[in-house]
Structure 1
């Protein structure tokens, strides 16, 4: 990896860490989720990057892919466990990180299990190690706390403008014999739960991604072209389009989703209605091991 690229990742790590730290300072019961998402995303922009995807706020049994909707009136509930998953990019180079905060001390062990699993993953990741070997370490750590890993969520190889670039770091030993290579960048995200250990797609979609380059004959070409030029192939929320197109853009995006012009990420919920914790960092694989870009674990100390 070039010195220039390492400097970009160092800057991204600093921006993402600052945004997570800021999120921890403002999240509390009663805070509107719309306000929370907007402030976190603005913090990333103020740092000199762009959000790589909308801020995800996963409450209790919601594991992933929920961001505030236009006009969202929901708030952080009392006694909840809240996952804050954010991404930042500079020129398509991406850092993906997450932390969980609990407003009920009974859930602290669930967070510790995910954190311990991330630590175990970091220690095991080096060139030549298989995906399943890392997954086995994640699973062992989570089960040592008496919880289950979420088996159908995983970490992922990251490439420029590609959040999910093919290879996956499982949260259990799934038998994947693909190997980690020097110079690769991975987001590793253990999810721990006291539920069934897997998630289901809910009917709700709050995050979208452009499926293909728009053509002038496409419906709502102005919206598609704006997304292509301002956001590109990375995930987006209709919230980001409202300043340009007004609230009516919500129904436009819904139409484009139904017609296959944009992809929609379903909100993911724990099958057994179990609570879910997540701790995530992005790692650069060097000859000697995995270097955390954000160092999210230190935020939990």
Structure 2
């Protein structure tokens, strides 16, 4: 797999911006701060830096692992004891950087370190010829060595132009085989460590969607949604981004007709805590280049 200089430079630019904005955005996570204010400020930083969001900023509390973001008019605030995952995606001309970190407002240091150590160990093993399943073995071993469980049904994923979940899949648990890494592959590794069951389930609440089919819409609210979704070329968008009224009616209609796909909030058992760490990397001839570090 080859990658020309223009494409490589776009991935690098997206990675550098994602790294910068993630650190600044995560720095806003403090006791008493509004979630909505933090999310909108961080998303605005991406645009001000000259890039675009690859997906709505994910900010997931405590047992939630992924797919949460601020609701319209969200009144949630960060509180003492919270464990907050901040997951940012940036794209430059469709070339994506995906990176995440966990902000500890409590006493969860060992859990935060478990996902971070697993990510570092997996990155160190990346090279052409290694199987994705071997990376899962490394991730699981590191997390369990810290006394926690990996989240088995969440994975890392390939990143192609305007495609956030391409091949290869990078498991967070040991498995035989999987994709063999080759030079030029671009993907995100994202270990999740949990004090809970080790599996996430879908919550009823949905804030994030993506367009998966092109069909006409009659409802004014559905038309407004598609005006937001179409230019994103399949990248996810937030309910919060859609102006006007009756947005939920438009969303439910488009989901029912198969035009958009919902991403429910994913969470482990109530009362548990989940940590996350994530970087994007490009496989090189003798290892990898981490674009977001």
| Same fold by TM-score greater than 0.5 | yes
How is 1:217-228 mapped onto 2 (pairs within 5 angstroms)? 219-220=219-220, 222-228=223-229
The CA deviation string for residues 24-68 of structure 1, in whole angstroms up to 9 with x for no partner, is 221111111111111111011111111100001111000100011
Conservation of the 8 A alpha-carbon contact between 1:148 and 1:193: yes
Change (3 A) 1:74 1:260: same
**Cα distance in 1 for residues equivalent to 2:36 and 2:233:** 23
Query: Partner of 1:67 in structure 2?
Result: 69
Please state how far the C-alpha of 1:278 moved relative to its aligned partner.
0.2
| Other-structure match for 2:192 | 191
Matched-pair contact (CA < 8 Å) for 1:70–1:247: no
- 2:27 match: 25
- Residue 203 of structure 2: aligned partner: 202
The whole-number CA distance in structure 2 between the counterparts of 1:150 and 1:95 is 22
How far off is 1:219 after superposition?
Answer: 4.4
| Structure 1 residue ranges (4+ consecutive) displaced by more than 4 angstroms after TM superposition | 217-221
| Structure 2 equivalent of residue 119 of structure 1 | 120
CA–CA separation in structure 2 for the residues paired with 1:250 and 1:34: 19
- State the alpha-carbon separation in 2 of the partners of residues 232 and 159 from structure 1: 12
TM-score normalised to the size of structure 2? 0.94
1:9 deviates by 1.7
What are the within-5 Å matches in structure 2 for residues 167-246 of structure 1?
167-215=168-216, 219-220=219-220, 222-242=223-243, 246=244
Counterpart for residue 53 of structure 1 = 55
SS in 2 for 1:26: coil
Residues 1:249 and 2:250 are matched in the alignment: no
Aligned to 2:166, the other structure's residue is in SS state coil
CA RMSD in angstroms, aligned pairs only: 1.6
Does the CA contact (< 8 Å) of 1:213 and 1:228 recur in 2?
A: no
Alpha-carbon separation, structure 1, partners of 2:117 and 2:228: 38
Looking at structure 1, the residues matched to 155 and 234 of structure 2 have their Cα atoms a distance apart, in angstroms, of: 21
Q: Distance in 1 between matches of 2:193 and 2:55?
A: 23
Aligned partner of 1:274 among 272, 275, 288 = 272
Distance in 2, matches of 1:196 and 1:281, equals: 24
Q: Is the counterpart of residue 97 in structure 1 residue 95 in structure 2? A: no
CA–CA separation in structure 2 for the residues paired with 1:69 and 1:228? 17
Instruction: Say which is worse superposed, 112-121 or 159-168, in terms of deviation.
Output: 159-168
Deviation at residue 144 of structure 1 after TM alignment: 1.2
**Distance (Å, rounded) in 2 between the aligned partners of 1:287 and 1:239:** 42
User: Following the alignment from structure 2 to structure 1, what is the Cα–Cα distance between the partners of residues 9 and 263?
Assistant: 31
Asked if the contact 1:185/1:285 (under 8 Å) is kept, the reply is yes
Equivalent residue for 1:35? 37
Report deviation, 1:218.
5.1
Give me the TM-score of the superposition, normalised by structure 1.
0.92
Q: In the TM superposition, what is the alpha-carbon distance from 1:257 to its structure 2 partner?
A: 2.2
Which residue number in structure 1 is paired with residue 291 of structure 2?
293
CA contact (8 A) 2:95 2:162 kept: yes
Q: Does 2:257 match 1:259? A: yes
Match of 1:283 in 2: 281
CA distance 1:147–1:109, shift in 2 (3 Å): same
Q: Secondary structure at the match of 2:124?
A: helix
Name stretches of at least 5 consecutive residues in structure 2 with no aligned partner: none
Q: Which runs of 5+ in 1 are unaligned?
A: 296-301
Once residues 90 and 214 of structure 1 are traced to their aligned partners in structure 2, the CA distance between those partners, rounded to angstroms, is: 27
Tell me, in whole angstroms, the C-alpha distance in 2 between the residues paired with 1:107 and 1:191.
14
- For 2:160 and 2:166, the matched residues in 1 are separated by 6
